[in-house]
Amino acid sequence: MQYFLHAYVNGDTWTNAALNTAKFIGHRKYLSRKVRGWSTAFILDREDLPVSKYGGAWTKSRIHDEDLKSELLTHLQSLGKYVTAAAIIDYLGQPDVAKRYRLKKAISLATAERWMSGCGFRWTMAHGGQYVDGHERDDVVTYQQSIFLPAWYALEPRMWRWSVIGGELVEEQAQGADSQSHIVTWFHDESTFYAHDHRKKRWIHGSETPTPQPKGEGSSLMAADFVSADYGWLRSPDRNESVRVLFHAGKGRDGYFSNDEIIRHAEKAMAILERYYQHDDHVFIFDNAPTHVKRADCSVSARNMPKGCKEWGIDVPVWDANGKIVLGPDGRTLMTKACISNGFFNGSPQEFYWPEGHKHAGKFKGMAQILTERGYDVTNLKAQCKQCASGATTCCCWRILFNQPDFINVEMILESTCSARGFQVIYLPKFHCELNFIEQCWGYAKRIYRCYPMSSKDADLEANVIKALDSGLNGAQAAWAAKKYHGHRVLPSAILEELDNAKVN
Q: 7 vs 302, which CB is nearer to Zn ion?
A: 302
CB 343 within 8 A of CB 261: no
With CB under 5 A as the contact rule, which of the stretches 35-43, 52-60, 66-74, 390-398 interacts with Zn ion? 390-398
388 binds Zn ion (CB under 5 A): yes
Select the residue interacting with Zn ion from 110, 296, 314, 385 (CB under 5 A): 385
Q: 1 vs 395, which CB is nearer to Zn ion?
A: 395
Residues 165-224 that bind Zn ion (CB under 5 A): none
Give the dihedral sign, CA 221/222/224/227: positive
Burial of residue 24, with CB atoms counted within 10 A of its CB: 0-12 exposed, 13-18 middle, 19 or more buried:
exposed
For residues 130 and 124, give the distance between their C-alpha atoms in angstroms, rounded to a whole number: 11
Closest approach of Zn ion to the CB of residue 396, in Å:
3
Burial of residue 33, with CB atoms counted within 10 A of its CB: 0-12 exposed, 13-18 middle, 19 or more buried:
middle
Select the residue interacting with Zn ion from 1, 318, 321, 395 (CB under 5 A): 395
Phi/psi of residue 149, each to 5°? Answer: -65, -45
Closest approach of Zn ion to the CB of residue 410, in Å:
22
Phi/psi of residue 225, each to 5°? Answer: -160, 175
Q: 377 vs 500, which CB is nearer to Zn ion?
A: 377
89 binds Zn ion (CB under 5 A): no
CB 347 within 8 A of CB 413: no
Residues 444-503 that bind Zn ion (CB under 5 A): none
For residues 45 and 49, give the distance between their C-alpha atoms in angstroms, rounded to a whole number: 9
Q: 120 vs 391, which CB is nearer to Zn ion?
A: 391
Closest approach of Zn ion to the CB of residue 297, in Å:
25
Contacts for 409-414: CB closer than 8 Å, 24+ residues apart: 410/259, 410/296, 410/299, 410/300, 410/341, 413/259, 413/263, 413/344, 414/259, 414/262, 414/263, 414/266, 414/286
For residues 137 and 261, give the distance between their C-alpha atoms in angstroms, rounded to a whole number: 29
Q: 399 vs 446, which CB is nearer to Zn ion?
A: 399
With CB under 5 A as the contact rule, which of the stretches 52-60, 106-114, 180-188, 377-385 interacts with Zn ion? 377-385
For residues 273 and 40, give the distance between their C-alpha atoms in angstroms, rounded to a whole number: 56
Q: 97 vs 367, which CB is nearer to Zn ion?
A: 367
With CB under 5 A as the contact rule, which of the stretches 169-177, 222-230, 347-355, 381-389 interacts with Zn ion? 381-389
With CB under 5 A as the contact rule, which of the stretches 2-10, 242-250, 361-369, 397-405 interacts with Zn ion? 397-405
CB 263 within 8 A of CB 418: no
Q: 284 vs 407, which CB is nearer to Zn ion?
A: 407
396 binds Zn ion (CB under 5 A): yes
Q: 298 vs 400, which CB is nearer to Zn ion?
A: 400
For residues 392 and 125, give the distance between their C-alpha atoms in angstroms, rounded to a whole number: 46
CB 81 within 8 A of CB 87: no
Closest approach of Zn ion to the CB of residue 366, in Å:
17
Give 12's DSSP letter.
-
Q: Exposure string (b/e) for 168-189, b if CB count within 10 Å is 16 or more?
A: ebeeeebeeeeeeeebbbbbbb
With CB under 5 A as the contact rule, which of the stretches 253-261, 389-397, 449-457, 470-478 interacts with Zn ion? 389-397
Q: 25 vs 389, which CB is nearer to Zn ion?
A: 389
Binding residues for Zn ion, how many (CB under 5 A)?
Answer: 5
Closest approach of Zn ion to the CB of residue 388, in Å:
3
Closest approach of Zn ion to the CB of residue 308, in Å:
17
Q: 258 vs 384, which CB is nearer to Zn ion?
A: 384
Closest approach of Zn ion to the CB of residue 350, in Å:
22
Angle, alpha carbons 179-185-190 (nearest 5°): 165
| Site residues (vs Zn ion, CB under 5 A) | 385, 388, 395-396, 399
